[in-house]
């Protein structure tokens, strides 16, 4: 790993290390901010002692990051428009990364201090949107092009729908448990259990389910939120030392051939569907020499981009053999072809089978650009896992006692945790970032309503206020910081 950073100017190296420290700090804060939600019910119900709960939660978060893949990571990265991702320079990259991280860390620390279960996912996404919009204003490009709005809409939908689903599903699950075993001890609160049964812990099977579901929430949280840190580090590395990280230099000859074949098959796909796509892609009207000096992603330049990429990759069996500027070119071509293919897939007139073929080609095209070195994954896993083990008390109290007017029963804890684990796990399958905080909090609220316990208006209003304010606050903060940083670079 060390040789990747050899030959860098001292100021670039220091900036890089500082940026990496910022990302890992964000993940550490994310650990003790968000993962308190994963252990809140299991600690409150006394299913596990706090020190064991946070330790095992940290372990399962660590494993979740290691085994989670990078789908969510690049969903976050691609919130920024492809033009910004392919044309970022070192100074611009530093300003972008430090601005969004400083905004995210500041908001996370503030909400944690006040014990508010705010969402790190909302925080990070708002910060990324802020730098994208600020970059558009500074670069005199339309605000509509400053952010990948389609990706933003997809993520926003997942962030809105997931807590609503968590509320409804957890409520229904609790009602099902009450119908199945109405007189069971699982419908007691820890306080009632102590007073009526003179016992400290939940009944055995309830305790087992609480522990397993809590570790499940920790695992899927690590997978989903850890990938956000991975995506941030890849933004840092690509923005500051592009020659080493724009492509996966450890790609095998087979993987490079797969990328080349996907490019060739993409060209054949467009020719096969020229009657539908000819006008959109200007098929047959442009050549490689038509590529502009200042490269930009334009569907009308698809044919020359494909020709240029095939020419650059001809005979290449190892990315190390490509000069640094050629590696950057290859990544630009691949990102643009993928971006255009995504737009083509949304056009009317293509058969469902053809769209499915196009999706497969997109996966092959990005196989060597959407990656993360193992040391990046390991560093994020450690930061998130260690962060889990501190700072959990404030949010545990909010989840356990301050959402409902009565304490949480064992059945409520099980319902909320099972719902959260399943919802976040499904989001991981579809590479969508969601908020552990909001899914679990809304699940608890749903069980309180189903249990006719009522909700504490003050706490619910505070959580909703944080939910509403997080995006505009982080967008404004990161945009302001990016504007200041960009002015300082001029």
Q: Of 182, 124, 177, which is closest to residue 473 (Cα–Cα)?
A: 124
Of all helices (H) and strands (E), which one includes residue 38? helix 36-44
* Domain-ending residue, one of 365, 381, 398: 365
Alpha carbon 286 to its chain centroid, in Å, reads 38
Query: Is 60 within a domain?
Result: yes
In total, how many domains does the chain have? 2
Higher local confidence (pLDDT), 398 or 485: 485
Whether residue 147 is found in the same domain as residue 228: yes
The predicted-structure confidence for 122-172, as pLDDT tens digits, reads as follows 888 899 899 889 888 887 777 777 787 877 888 888 888 888 899 999 999
How many residues are listed for the chain in this entry?
490
Which pTM does this prediction carry? 0.84
The predicted-structure confidence for 462-474, as pLDDT tens digits, reads as follows 777 777 888 899 9
**Burial class of residue 419 (count of CB atoms within 10 Å of its CB; 0-12, 13-18, 19+):** buried
Whether residue 257 is found in the same domain as residue 163: no
Half-sphere exposure of 56 (CA within 13 A, CB side): 16
* Domain-ending residue, one of 330, 347, 365: 365
Higher local confidence (pLDDT), 407 or 155: 155
Whether residue 224 is found in the same domain as residue 113: yes
Whether residue 162 is found in the same domain as residue 138: yes
* Angle at 263 (CA atoms; ends 261, 267), nearest 5 degrees: 115
Rounded percentage of the chain residues whose pLDDT exceeds 70: 87
Least reliable range by pLDDT among 108-112, 382-386, 459-463: 459-463
Return the number of other C-beta atoms located less than 10 Å from residue 377's C-beta: 22
Q: What is the DSSP string of 257-280?
A: HHHHHHHHHHHHHHHHTHHHHHHH
Query: Is 303 within a domain?
Result: yes
- Note whether 45 and 408 are within 8 A (CB): yes
Task: Map tokens 């579809």 to a residue.
Answer: 430
Whether residue 276 is found in the same domain as residue 342: yes
The Cα–Cα gap between 481 and 99 comes to 5
Whether residue 259 is found in the same domain as residue 349: yes
**Burial class of residue 330 (count of CB atoms within 10 Å of its CB; 0-12, 13-18, 19+):** buried
Query: Is 92 within a domain?
Result: yes
User: Can you say whether the dihedral through the CA atoms of 169, 172, 178, 181 is positive or negative?
Assistant: negative
Least reliable range by pLDDT among 115-119, 220-224, 301-305, 383-387: 115-119
Range of the domain at 262: 248-365
- Note whether 384 and 62 are within 8 A (CB): yes
Alpha helices in 248-399 (DSSP H): 253-272, 274-281, 302-313, 324-345, 352-365, 374-388, 393-397
Whether residue 388 is found in the same domain as residue 355: no
Return the number of other C-beta atoms located less than 10 Å from residue 453's C-beta: 19
The predicted-structure confidence for 287-331, as pLDDT tens digits, reads as follows 555 666 666 778 888 899 999 999 999 999 999 999 988 998 899
Region 220-232: mean pLDDT is 88
Region 64-71: mean pLDDT is 90
Whether residue 434 is found in the same domain as residue 358: no
Least reliable range by pLDDT among 158-167, 298-307, 339-348, 435-444: 435-444
* Domain-ending residue, one of 331, 365, 399: 365
Which residues are CB-neighbours of 91 under 8 A, at least 6 positions away? 489
Of all helices (H) and strands (E), which one includes residue 424? helix 410-429
**Burial class of residue 428 (count of CB atoms within 10 Å of its CB; 0-12, 13-18, 19+):** buried
SS3 content of the chain, % helix, strand, coil (to 5): 75, 0, 25
- Note whether 399 and 440 are within 8 A (CB): yes
CA distances (Å), origin 45, targets 167, 409, 437, 484:
20, 7, 18, 48
Whether residue 455 is found in the same domain as residue 329: no
Q: What is the DSSP letter of 399?
A: I
pLDDT for residue 422: 93
Whether residue 54 is found in the same domain as residue 196: yes
Whether residue 337 is found in the same domain as residue 432: no
Query: Is 252 within a domain?
Result: yes
Whether residue 328 is found in the same domain as residue 342: yes
Query: Is 421 within a domain?
Result: yes
Q: What is the DSSP string of 184-217?
A: -GGGS-HHHHHHHH--SSPPHHHHHHHHHHHHHH
Query: Is 1 within a domain?
Result: no
Query: Is 2 within a domain?
Result: no
Query: Is 480 within a domain?
Result: yes
């Amino acid at each position: 790993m060390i040789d990747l950073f050899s030959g860098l100017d001292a100021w670039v190296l220091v900036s890089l290390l500082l940026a990496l420290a910022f990302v890992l700090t964000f993940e550490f804060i994310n650990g003790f901010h968000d993962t308190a939600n994963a252990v809140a019910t299991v600690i409150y119900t006394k299913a596990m002692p706090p020190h064991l709960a946070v330790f095992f939660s940290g372990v399962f978060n660590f494993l979740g990051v290691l085994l989670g893949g990078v789908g969510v990571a690049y969903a976050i990265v691609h919130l920024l428009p492809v033009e910004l991702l392919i044309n970022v320079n070192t100074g611009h990259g530093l300003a972008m990364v430090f601005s969004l991280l400083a905004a995210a860390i500041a908001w996370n620390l503030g909400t944690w201090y006040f014990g508010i279960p705010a969402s790190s996912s909302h925080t990070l996404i708002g910060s990324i949107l802020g730098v994208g919009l600020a970059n558009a204003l500074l670069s005199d490009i339309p605000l509509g092009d400053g952010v990948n709005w389609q990706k933003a809409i997809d993520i926003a939908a997942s962030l809105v729908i997931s807590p609503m689903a968590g509320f409804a599903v957890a409520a229904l699950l609790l009602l099902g448990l009450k119908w199945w075993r109405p007189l069971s001890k699982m419908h007691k609160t820890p306080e009632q259990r102590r007073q009526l049964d003179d016992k400290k812990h939940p009944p055995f099977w309830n305790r087992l389910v609480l522990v397993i579901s809590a570790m499940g929430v920790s695992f899927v949280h690590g997978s989903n939120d850890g990938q956000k840190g991975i995506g941030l580090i890849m933004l840092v590395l690509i923005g500051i030392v592009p020659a080493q990280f724009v492509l996966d230099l450890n790609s095998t000859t087979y993987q490079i051939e797969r990328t080349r074949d996907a490019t060739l098959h993409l060209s054949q796909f467009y020719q096969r569907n020229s009657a539908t796509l000819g006008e959109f892609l200007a098929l047959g009207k442009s050549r490689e020499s038509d590529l502009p000096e200042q490269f930009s992603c334009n569907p009308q330049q698809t044919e020359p981009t494909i020709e240029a990429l095939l020419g650059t990759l001809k005979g290449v069996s190892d990315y190390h053999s490509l000069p640094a500027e050629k590696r950057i070119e290859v990544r630009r071509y691949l990102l643009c072809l993928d971006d255009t293919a995504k737009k083509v897939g949304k056009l009317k007139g293509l058969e469902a089978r053809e769209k499915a073929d196009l999706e497969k080609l997109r996966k092959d095209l990005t196989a060597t650009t959407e990656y993360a070195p193992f040391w990046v994954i390991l560093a994020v896993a450690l930061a998130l896992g260690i962060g889990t083990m501190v700072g959990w008390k404030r949010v545990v109290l909010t989840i356990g006692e301050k959402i409902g007017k009565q304490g949480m029963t064992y059945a409520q804890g099980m319902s909320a945790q099972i719902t959260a684990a399943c919802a976040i796990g499904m989001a991981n399958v579809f590479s969508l970032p969601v908020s552990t905080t909001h899914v679990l909090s809304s699940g608890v609220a749903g069980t309180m309503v189903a249990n006719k316990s009522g909700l504490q208006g003050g706490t619910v209003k505070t959580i909703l206020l944080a939910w509403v304010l997080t995006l505009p606050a982080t967008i404004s903060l990161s945009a302001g910081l990016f504007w200041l940083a960009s002015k300082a670079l001029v």
